[in-house]
Amino acid sequence: MFARLFCWTIAAVMTAAAPAMAEDGYALWLHHARPNGGSAEAIARHAAAVMAPGSGATALIARDELVRGLTSASGIAPVVTDGSQGASPQGGSPQAGAIWLATPASAPGLPVKLDGLGDEGYAIRSLIRNGQPVTLIAANSDIGLLHGAYAYLRLADTGASLDRLDIRSAPRMKLRLLNHWDNLDGTVERGYAGQSIWDWWRLPDWKGPRYTDYARANASIGINGTVLNNVNARSDSLTAPYIAKAAALADLFRPYGIKVYLSVKWTAPMELSGLKSADPLDPQVAAWWKAKADEIYRAIPDFGGFLVKANSEGQPGPQDYGRTHADGANMLAAAVKPHGGIVMWRAFVYAHDNPDDRAKQAYSDFKPLDGQFADNVLVQVKNGPIDFQPREPFHPLFGAMPRTPLMMEFQITKEYLGQSTHLTYLGPLFEEVLKSDTFARGKGSTVARVIDGSLEGHKLTGMAGVANIGADRDWSGSIFNQADWYAFGRLAWDPDLPAEAIAREWVAQTFSPDPRVTGPVVAMMMGSREAAVDYMTPLGLAHLMGTGHHYGPAPWISDLARPEWNPAYYHKADAQGIGFDRTRTGSNAIGQYAPRLAKILADPRTTPERDLLWFHHVGWDAKLKSGETLWDGLVHHYDDGVAYVANMQTIWDSLRPYIDSERFTQTQVFLGIQRREAQWWRDASIAYFQSIARRPLPPGASAPEHDLDWYKARRFPYAPGHP
Ligand code: GCW
């Protein structure tokens, strides 16, 4: 009796003690779904062994990442050899395939050409070696091997064929980095995933596993740089204790091919060393920055360089001393140049006392400086002329500064797209911008070709994304927000990748390659950003959000001290119509685009309807392409957006049998929040605009749930991301 009870107790404890693998999203896309039918068998057949002759830290990481992923995906741990005994380990069956990770240094005479792949690219080739099937992952450097290893795991995890592989891939952009708007007190500006992952307080001593997992995740999508601190910078980031903290992170990230950068505050010389001025042409100021750069490079020999937000939203800068952005950038560039460093100077500038259209001000400031920046300076330009809206036309600076390397700044965190809970996959937004034709050198002068340097012949190129990463277990505030980080990285590597293919990769790796999952989930993701445009700011409207926290609708706001912070500044709704006239009869912002595009935008009939109210003030009764009036069309777009979210809920509910309960439930609950908030955006917007347009709702459209005053009275003092 006792023995039976004892066994039972042991069994019970064992069961209780063996928690199901926590599906809390921490694994991100490096999830390597457990043995999954066909792909597990294929993996086992192709990757029974891993031959890795390399011995450096990065080579070993590449080997270990490959082994870890293959073991998890196939349920079988490959044999690991250094490759010296030929392709297969002793006694291995000659049919079992092997993966061979090699560089010319570790395996001279590789049977594959590596020219054009640079240090970060890779080749993957199926071949027969000593009578045995081998998949060669080759690169010029160990970092390239690491990227190749992750690329192979993507193939394995997504159920792609592992036969007859002949792949060559190299990044189109040199700098592929995240801008963390993380503050030294642990808060994250516009962050919706908890506290900052940088535990400044316990660095450099404590370096938790999170930092290594951060490096793995970023290396797996080819990101090679990280700006650790907010562009609304504190000078403290440049003090010795904080340089030591940054150096500890740089040491951890280095084997993953990831460099560390820092945002700098323009007046640091004054705040930290009591200089009387921050004039970039003052030799003392230049000397201070040179000494500071030397100090940083002593701690971080491969430090990437500086990111600068200057003369923007109250941040100090060279214009405070009658100098230009180029004067400022070039002084910093001279400080880091001896160390191979670069400066990223942000073009996000607009002044509250500048009466010109805010959408024109960055172009007006920067275009005249084309060609004046040092050769290690990039001007970092937001995708649109205002501020990371659900949709904006591409920034007119792209294509307008041929003698200056312009780098893209996307926002991965969703300040204006539903923050943490809304499922609004940003891949289509990024793709739309990258494919936009600037017509700068005729048709085909896309934004992607401007930033990858091919259009204007730049070697120094880059793409930055404002990170959506925080200390939450799921890293990004929700499982689906991870897809935006993933898409950013994949597009920085190859800006021509289709957003849909990226979504399919992400779903297959994060959830399952089962078409019963990838099919509906990818379809749902692909329309989700457009849905947000529809329920928030359809037909070219923009910047209609709540003040400060930017959470929720507030198109009625018109009394803020800064005119260009008022939503009414953007929609200009009146009894006749709505929209911002940016043609010659208005601000003439269209004049900042290439003439061929300006001509298209000058006429509401040829302006893409999705940008109509960005460029034109249109009468409520004007006809849209659908034949309906603008007013009716506006209401229908709002309703389409809400209906799409309801449809996402239906699709997601149908997937319950295929998704683990933890991640299923989070998404289900968040879709419920999104449904409620989409309705709120729709109702508040219609209540307000109807009070101006005085048009009846189109047949079938429901009246807003509350009256306008109810929506105006809503307050959210504790909305996240607005420290
Ligand atoms: O998107 C806006 C945000 C600010 C941000 C600023 C910028 C870091 O509302 O929070 O400040 O732009 O890009 O500098």
* Residue 631: CATH number of its domain: 3.90.1330.10
Q: What is the CATH number of the domain that holds 160?
A: 3.30.379.10
Reading the block at residue 505, the tokens are 């990769």
Cα four-point dihedral sign 174, 178, 181, 186: negative
Q: Tell me if 535 CB under 6 Å of ligand 1.
A: no
Reported in sequence order, the residue ranges of 554-659 that DSSP labels E, i.e. its strands, are: 577-578, 618-619
Residue 94, pLDDT score: 54
Read off φ and ψ for residue 79, nearest 5 degrees. Answer: -75, 140
Query: Does the structure show a pLDDT above 50 at 87?
Result: no
Counting from 1 in the atom list of ligand 1, the atom nearest the Cα of 550 is 9
User: What's 408's DSSP letter?
Assistant: E
Which of 395, 235, 396, 389 lies closest to 308, judged by CA?
235
Residue 352, pLDDT score: 85
- 553 and 497 within one domain: no
Give the catalytic positions in this structure.
313, 387, 415
Helical spans, DSSP H, in 29-186:
37-46, 57-74, 142-157
Which residue CA neighbors atom 1 of ligand 1 most closely?
387
How many whole angstroms separate alpha carbon 196 and alpha carbon 185?
Answer: 9
Torsion, CA 513, CA 519, CA 525, CA 531, rounded to 10: -170
Q: Which of 313, 361, 416, 565 has the most ligand 1 atoms within 8 A of CB, as the residue to mutate?
A: 313
Query: Does the structure show a pLDDT above 60 at 6?
Result: no
Residue pLDDT, tens place only, 401-442: 999 999 999 999 999 999 999 999 999 999 999 999 999 999
Q: If you measure from the C-alpha of residue 415 to the centroid of ligand 1, how many angstroms do you get, rounded to a whole number?
A: 9
Q: In this structure, is residue 165 part of a structural domain?
A: yes
Q: Tell me if 409 CB under 6 Å of ligand 1.
A: no
Q: Tell me if 464 CB under 6 Å of ligand 1.
A: no
Q: Which of 124, 139, 169 is the last residue of a domain?
A: 169
Q: Which of 182, 183, 187, 189 has the most ligand 1 atoms within 8 A of CB, as the residue to mutate?
A: 189
- 117 and 63 within one domain: yes
- 232 and 121 within one domain: no
Residue 173, pLDDT score: 98
How wide is the angle at C-alpha 210 spanned by C-alphas 207 and 214, nearest 5°? 115
Q: Tell me if 417 CB under 6 Å of ligand 1.
A: no
Q: Which of 119, 151, 169 is the last residue of a domain?
A: 169
Which of 29, 7, 107, 112 lies closest to 476, judged by CA?
29
**Arithmetic mean of pLDDT, 68-89:** 81
Residue pLDDT, tens place only, 258-306: 999 999 999 999 999 999 999 999 999 999 999 999 999 999 999 999 9
Residue 93, pLDDT score: 55
- 149 and 195 within one domain: no
Q: If you measure from the C-alpha of residue 190 to the centroid of ligand 1, how many angstroms do you get, rounded to a whole number?
A: 8
Q: If you measure from the C-alpha of residue 111 to the centroid of ligand 1, how many angstroms do you get, rounded to a whole number?
A: 50
How many whole angstroms separate alpha carbon 327 and alpha carbon 289?
Answer: 14
Residues 6+ apart with CB under 8 A from 313: 232, 348
How many whole angstroms separate alpha carbon 476 and alpha carbon 559?
Answer: 34
Reading the block at residue 255, the tokens are 């084997």
Report the number of distinct structural domains present in the chain: 3
Residue 293, pLDDT score: 99
Q: Chain centroid to CA 550: how far?
A: 19
Q: Tell me if 231 CB under 6 Å of ligand 1.
A: yes
Average pLDDT, the chain: 94
- 123 and 246 within one domain: no
pLDDT band at 95 (very low <50, low <70, confident <90, very high): low
Read off φ and ψ for residue 478, nearest 5 degrees. Answer: -160, 160
Q: Tell me if 181 CB under 6 Å of ligand 1.
A: yes
Reading the block at residue 273, the tokens are 């060393």
Residue pLDDT, tens place only, 501-516: 999 999 999 999 999 9
Residue 381, pLDDT score: 98
Query: Does the structure show a pLDDT above 60 at 702?
Result: yes
Contact assessment for residue 54 and residue 142, using Cβ atoms and an 8 Å cutoff? yes
How many whole angstroms separate alpha carbon 390 and alpha carbon 641?
Answer: 13
Residue 208, pLDDT score: 92
Query: Does the structure show a pLDDT above 60 at 91?
Result: no
Q: What is the pTM of this model?
A: 0.96
Residue 21, pLDDT score: 59
Q: Tell me if 350 CB under 6 Å of ligand 1.
A: no
User: What's 301's DSSP letter?
Assistant: T
What angle, 0 to 180 degrees and rounded to 10, lies between the N-to-C axes of helices 283-299 and 325-336? 40
- 180 and 120 within one domain: no
- Secondary structure of residue 630 in the 3-state scheme: helix
Reply yes or no: is the peptide bond before residue 204 cis, omega within 30 of 0: yes
Read off φ and ψ for residue 261, nearest 5 degrees. Answer: -125, 165
Q: Tell me if 722 CB under 6 Å of ligand 1.
A: no
- 181 and 163 within one domain: no
Q: In this structure, is residue 720 part of a structural domain?
A: no
Q: Tell me if 232 CB under 6 Å of ligand 1.
A: yes
Q: Which of 178, 227, 415 has the most ligand 1 atoms within 8 A of CB, as the residue to mutate?
A: 415
Q: In this structure, is residue 591 part of a structural domain?
A: no
**Arithmetic mean of pLDDT, 24-49:** 85
Reading the block at residue 217, the tokens are 């995740």
pLDDT band at 485 (very low <50, low <70, confident <90, very high): very high
Q: What is the CATH number of the domain that holds 189?
A: 3.20.20.80
Torsion, CA 494, CA 499, CA 502, CA 503, rounded to 10: 160
Contact assessment for residue 547 and residue 418, using Cβ atoms and an 8 Å cutoff? no
Q: What is the Cα gyration radius of the chain?
A: 27
Q: In this structure, is residue 8 part of a structural domain?
A: no
**Arithmetic mean of pLDDT, 647-671:** 97
How many whole angstroms separate alpha carbon 666 and alpha carbon 177?
Answer: 29
Residue 82, pLDDT score: 87
Residue 473, pLDDT score: 97
Q: In this structure, is residue 604 part of a structural domain?
A: no
* Mode of pairing for the β-strands spanning 49-51 and 79-81: parallel
Contact assessment for residue 70 and residue 39, using Cβ atoms and an 8 Å cutoff? no
**Arithmetic mean of pLDDT, 228-250:** 98
- 343 and 205 within one domain: yes
- Secondary structure of residue 382 in the 3-state scheme: strand
Q: If you measure from the C-alpha of residue 476 to the centroid of ligand 1, how many angstroms do you get, rounded to a whole number?
A: 18
Q: In this structure, is residue 523 part of a structural domain?
A: no
Contact assessment for residue 278 and residue 266, using Cβ atoms and an 8 Å cutoff? yes
Which residues sit opposite 700 in a β-bridge?
Answer: none
Counting from 1 in the atom list of ligand 1, the atom nearest the Cα of 409 is 13
Query: Does the structure show a pLDDT above 60 at 86?
Result: no
Q: Tell me if 392 CB under 6 Å of ligand 1.
A: no
The parent domain of residue 639 ranges over 534-580+617-712
Residue 44, pLDDT score: 86
Q: Between 539 and 130, where is the model more confident? A: 539
Q: If you measure from the C-alpha of residue 145 to the centroid of ligand 1, how many angstroms do you get, rounded to a whole number?
A: 37
How many whole angstroms separate alpha carbon 350 and alpha carbon 298?
Answer: 36
Q: If you measure from the C-alpha of residue 570 to the centroid of ligand 1, how many angstroms do you get, rounded to a whole number?
A: 18
Q: Tell me if 176 CB under 6 Å of ligand 1.
A: no
Q: If you measure from the C-alpha of residue 526 to the centroid of ligand 1, how many angstroms do you get, rounded to a whole number?
A: 26
Contact assessment for residue 186 and residue 200, using Cβ atoms and an 8 Å cutoff? yes
Q: Which of 120, 152, 169 is the last residue of a domain?
A: 169
Q: If you measure from the C-alpha of residue 312 to the centroid of ligand 1, how many angstroms do you get, rounded to a whole number?
A: 9
Per residue, the 3-state secondary structure of 627-679, as one string, reads: CCEHHHHHHHHHHHHHHHHHHHHHHHHHCHHHCCHHHHHHHHHHHHHHHHHHH
Greatest CA separation found in the chain? 94
pLDDT band at 601 (very low <50, low <70, confident <90, very high): very high
Residue 32, pLDDT score: 81
pLDDT band at 57 (very low <50, low <70, confident <90, very high): very high
Q: Tell me if 677 CB under 6 Å of ligand 1.
A: no
- 683 and 549 within one domain: yes
**Arithmetic mean of pLDDT, 656-667:** 96
Read off φ and ψ for residue 670, nearest 5 degrees. Answer: -65, -35
- 386 and 477 within one domain: yes
Counting from 1 in the atom list of ligand 1, the atom nearest the Cα of 315 is 14
Q: If you measure from the C-alpha of residue 377 to the centroid of ligand 1, how many angstroms do you get, rounded to a whole number?
A: 21
Per residue, the 3-state secondary structure of 180-219, as one string, reads: CCECCCCCECCCCCCCCCCCCCCCCCCCCHHHHHHHHHHH
**Arithmetic mean of pLDDT, 199-212:** 97
Q: If you measure from the C-alpha of residue 314 to the centroid of ligand 1, how many angstroms do you get, rounded to a whole number?
A: 11
Q: Tell me if 348 CB under 6 Å of ligand 1.
A: yes
How many whole angstroms separate alpha carbon 148 and alpha carbon 154?
Answer: 10
Q: Which of 387, 392, 564 has the most ligand 1 atoms within 8 A of CB, as the residue to mutate?
A: 387
Q: In this structure, is residue 361 part of a structural domain?
A: yes
Residue 15, pLDDT score: 39
Which residue CA neighbors atom 11 of ligand 1 most closely?
232
Q: Which of 266, 348, 419, 468 has the most ligand 1 atoms within 8 A of CB, as the residue to mutate?
A: 348
Report the run of H or E that residue 585 belongs to, with start and end: none
Q: In this structure, is residue 529 part of a structural domain?
A: no
- 227 and 100 within one domain: no
Q: If you measure from the C-alpha of residue 667 to the centroid of ligand 1, how many angstroms do you get, rounded to a whole number?
A: 28
Contact assessment for residue 308 and residue 264, using Cβ atoms and an 8 Å cutoff? yes
Q: Tell me if 429 CB under 6 Å of ligand 1.
A: no
- pLDDT exceeding 90 applies to what percent of the chain? 91
- 639 and 670 within one domain: yes
Q: Tell me if 543 CB under 6 Å of ligand 1.
A: no
Residue pLDDT, tens place only, 317-341: 999 999 999 999 999 999 999 999 9
